[in-house]
Amino acid sequence: MSLLADLVNLDLSDNTEKIIAEYIWVGGSGMDMRSKARTLSGPVTDPSKLPKWNYDGSSTGQAPGQDSEVILYPQAIFKDPFRRGNNILVMCDAYTPAGEPIPTNKRHAAAEIFNNPDVVAEVPWYGIEQEYTLLQKDVNWPLGWPIGGYPGPQGPYYCSIGADKSFGRDIVDAHYKACLYAGINISGINGEVMPGQWEFQVGPSVGISASDEIWIARYILERITEIAGVVVSFDPKPIPGDWNGAGAHTNYSTKSMREEGGYEVIKKAIEKLGLRHKEHIAAYGEGNERRLTGHHETADINTFLWGVANRGASIRVGRDTEKEGKGYFEDRRPSSNMDPYVVTSMIAETTLLWNP
């Protein structure tokens, strides 16, 4: 037993220059993460120095059997908190051998939007609040909940402590440090309103890096729950009834919004978002209609509503921002299973590139 532990934690830097790179990509469902590892001859810090690779797309629903190779393009490097040393995690996106992004590759289009000079000039910042639910293995019932029954109603659980109120803190705290180690811009964590539900925040990050960081943070989270024998769910409404859903509120600002007179820019941006409500909602995550009911701190899915400090709105502007006349706003519509490449680039597109 202890020999296995020694081997897993072996520090190779004394014996070899070689490192292990874990290539990570998003699979065919748009939500499942996949990864496999390869050896590199020495430490690497720049993604452009990493070799392209490929995988069996027919095993992830991303290619037919007779033409199964999907190519991995490395896009971002993070330190590996599980292997440590000089070993790395590599966020990749997926292309056909001919060099076209495959249909489930949402990063490519996002990168185009974020390279648009009008968007680059405005330095868009994102702060993403990723909520998720921990489930007991095999029964898929939330962690800490009695099997075949329910805990007491919501109220005592938000940011709580105590064995009767807070379930799974070890996972959350391990994830926090692992992300800091990896180089992810994780800005905070908290226990959520539904027991067994948690949230972490990533940001403020610029442009496409926000999404790379969220995907890697999700990857690290699921690796940790794997170790802990617990299941992580990004379903937006894991338990129907009088229980909160899980969202991925996306905070957003541009250079103009952060400067003097920014509040007017914010209001204009919100107006544009209101005119494209249907398009955004369609891209904000599967199953969101079960979550956006108008109850449980959400706005109804068919209504576009914005307000200051109003958690029942589609878009919330903080009191700070209103007072200072500049700042940022929070799009509360995206669900926990949203694709950050899609959401962040769409917000930038609607507010900076689109005109009604």
Partner 1 sequence: MAQILAASPTTCQMRVPKHSSVITNKLWSSVVLKQKKQSSNKHRGFRVLALQSDNSTVNRVETLLNLDTKPYSDRIIAEYIWIGGSGIDLRSKSRTLEKPVEDPSELPKWNYDGSSTGQAPGEDSEVILYPQAIFRDPFRGGNNILVICDTWTPAGEPIPTNKRARAAEIFSNQKVTDELPWFGIEQEYTLLQQNVKWPLGWPVGAFPGPQGPYYCGVGADKIWGRDISDAHYKACLYAGINISGTNGEVMPGQWEFQVGPSVGIDAGDHVWCARYLLERITEQAGVVLTLDPKPIEGDWNGAGCHTNYSTKSMREEGGFEVIKKAILNLSLRHKEHISAYGEGNERRLTGKHETASIDQFSWGVANRGCSIRVGRDTEAKGKGYLEDRRPASNMDPYIVTSLLAETTLLWEPTLEAEALAAQKLSLNV
Options 116-124, 138-146, 284-292, 343-351: segment touching partner 1 (CB under 8 A): 138-146
Q: Is 13 helix (H, G, I), strand (E, B) or coil?
A: helix
Residue whose CB is less far from partner 1, 24 or 178 = 178
144 binds partner 1 (CB under 8 A): yes
With CB under 8 A as the contact rule, which of the stretches 2-10, 31-39, 116-124, 329-337 interacts with partner 1? Answer: 2-10
167 binds partner 1 (CB under 8 A): yes
The beta-strand segments (E) located in the chain are: 19-26, 33-40, 53-56, 69-79, 88-95, 125-136, 186-191, 197-206, 230-233, 248-253, 306-308, 315-317, 329-331
Examine residue 1 and tell whether it contacts partner 1 (CB under 8 A).
yes
Taking the CB of residue 256, how many other CB atoms lie within 10 A of it? 19
Span interacting with partner 1, options 32-40, 47-55, 94-102, 167-175, rule CB under 8 A: 167-175
282 binds partner 1 (CB under 8 A): no
Report the residue from 100, 307, 324, 353 that binds partner 1 according to the rule CB under 8 A: 307
The token pair at 179 is 């992300």
Q: Which of 166, 253, 336, 337 binds partner 1 (CB under 8 A)?
A: 166
Contact between 164 and partner 1 (CB under 8 A)? yes
Candidate residues 26, 128, 193, 221; the one interacting with partner 1 per rule CB under 8 A: 193
Exactly one of 5, 98, 147, 282 binds partner 1 (CB under 8 A); that residue is 5
286 binds partner 1 (CB under 8 A): no
**For partner 1, which is the closer residue by CB, 117 or 146?**
146
User: Counting contacts by CB under 8 A, is residue 310 touching partner 1?
Assistant: yes
* 53 vs 181 by CB, closer to partner 1: 181
330, two tokens: 């929070």
- Closest CB 40 distance from partner 1, rounded Å: 20
147 makes contact with partner 1 (CB under 8 A): no
Binding part of the chain for partner 1, among 55-63, 99-107, 119-127, 176-184 by CB under 8 A, reads 176-184
Radius of gyration of the chain (CA): 21
Q: Could you say whether residue 229 binds partner 1 (CB under 8 A)?
A: yes
Cα separation, 269 vs 138, in Å, equals 45
- CB-CB contact of 113 with 353 (8 Å): yes
Task: Name the one range near partner 1 by CB under 8 A: 10-18, 36-44, 100-108, 235-243.
Answer: 10-18
186 binds partner 1 (CB under 8 A): yes
Sheet hosting strand 69-79, strand order edge to edge: 33-40, 19-26, 88-95, 69-79, 53-56
| Nearest-approach distance from CB 99 to partner 1, in angstroms | 36
* Amino acid making up residue 317: V
146 near partner 1, judged by CB under 8 A: yes
Which residues inside 206-225 make contact with partner 1, applying CB under 8 A?
224
CA distance 27 to 163: 36
Work out whether 291 is an interface residue with partner 1 (CB under 8 A). Answer: no
Phi and psi torsions of 130, nearest 5°: -90, 115
| Residues 6 or more apart in contact with residue 202 via CB below 8 angstroms | 127, 128, 130, 179, 184, 185, 186, 187, 210, 213, 214, 217
CA dihedral 145, 148, 153, 157 (to 10 degrees): 0
The least distance separating partner 1 from the CB of residue 200, rounded to whole angstroms, comes to: 9
In this structure, are residues 337 and 33 in contact, taking their beta carbons and an 8 Å threshold? no
Which residues of the shown chain bind partner 1 in the complex (CB under 8 A)?
1-2, 4-6, 8-11, 14, 79, 81-82, 143-144, 146, 155-156, 158-171, 173-178, 180-181, 186-191, 193, 224, 226-230, 297, 307, 309-312, 318-320, 323
